[in-house]
Amino acid sequence: MIFMVENSNDGKSEQTRPSLFQHQWWIWLLLIFLVAGGVYLYRTIEEKKASLAAKQAAAAAARSVPVAAVPARKGDIGVYLTGLGSVTPLDTVTVKSRVDGQLMKVLFREGQVVKSGELLAVLDPRPFEVQLTQAEGQLMRDQALLKNARLDLERYRVLSEQDSIAKQQYDTQKSLVRQYEGAVKNDQGLVDSARLQLVYCRITSPLSGRVGLRQVDAGNIVHATDTNGLVVITQLMPITVIFPIPEDNLPQVLAKLKSGPRLTVEAFDREQKRKLAAGYLLTIDNVVDPTTGTVKFKAVFPNKGNELFPNQFVNARLLVEVRHDSVIVPSSAIQRGPQGVFVYVVKADKSVTVRPVTLGVTEGGETAVDAGLAPGELVVSDGAERLHEGSLVEVKEAGKGRGNGNGQGPGPGKEHRQGGKPQRPDR
> Do residues 367 and 359 make contact, with C-beta atoms less than 8 angstroms apart?
yes
Assign 32 to helix, strand or coil. helix
**Residue count (the chain):** 427
Residue bearing the bigger pLDDT, 409 or 102: 102
Band of pLDDT at residue 60, cut at 50, 70 and 90? low
**Which stretch of 65-69, 241-245, 413-417 has the lowest confidence by average pLDDT?**
413-417
Percent of the chain at pLDDT > 70 equals 84
420 has pLDDT over 50: no
Q: State the pLDDT at residue 365.
A: 83
The per-residue b/e assignment along 311-339, b for 16 or more CB within 10 angstroms, e otherwise, is ebebbbbbbbeebeebbbbbbbbbbeeee
CB-facing half-sphere around the CA of 66: CA atoms within 13 A: 8
Closest CA to 334 of 363, 350, 355, 364: 355
The per-residue b/e assignment along 44-78, b for 16 or more CB within 10 angstroms, e otherwise, is eeeeeeeeeeeeeeeeeeeeebebbbbebbebebb
Q: Where, residue-wise, is CATH 2.40.50.100 in the chain?
A: 99-124+202-234
Band of pLDDT at residue 120, cut at 50, 70 and 90? very high
Assign 125 to helix, strand or coil. coil
Q: State the pLDDT at residue 282.
A: 93
CATH 2.40.30.170 for domain 83-89+236-321:
yes
191 has pLDDT over 70: yes
Q: State the pLDDT at residue 22.
A: 53
Q: Where, residue-wise, is CATH 2.40.30.170 in the chain?
A: 83-89+236-321
**Which stretch of 133-147, 216-230, 334-348 has the lowest confidence by average pLDDT?**
334-348
Mean per-residue pLDDT over the chain, rounded: 83
Assign 394 to helix, strand or coil. strand
Q: State the pLDDT at residue 109.
A: 94
**Separation CA 329–CA 95 (nearest Å):** 55
57 has pLDDT over 60: no
Q: pLDDT tens digits, residue range 231-284?
A: 999 999 999 999 999 999 999 899 888 887 889 999 999 888 899 999 999 999
Average of pLDDT values for 63-70? 85
401 has pLDDT over 90: no
15 has pLDDT over 50: no
Average of pLDDT values for 128-150? 95
Band of pLDDT at residue 55, cut at 50, 70 and 90? low
CATH 2.40.50.100 for domain 99-124+202-234:
yes
In the chain, the N- to C-terminal Cα span, in Å, equals 117
DSSP states of 84-114: EEEEEES-EEEE--SS-EEEEEE---TT-EE
Q: Where, residue-wise, is CATH 1.10.287.470 in the chain?
A: 125-200
What are the backbone dihedrals phi and psi of residue 91, each rounded to the nearest 5 degrees, phi first? -140, 135
Q: pLDDT tens digits, residue range 313-348?
A: 999 999 988 888 889 999 888 998 888 899 999 988
Q: What residues have CB less than 8 Å from 208, skipping those under 6 apart?
A: 113, 114, 115, 116, 235, 237
Q: Which one of 3.40.50.720, 1.10.287.470, 1.10.3210.10, 3.30.70.260 gives the CATH number of domain 125-200?
A: 1.10.287.470
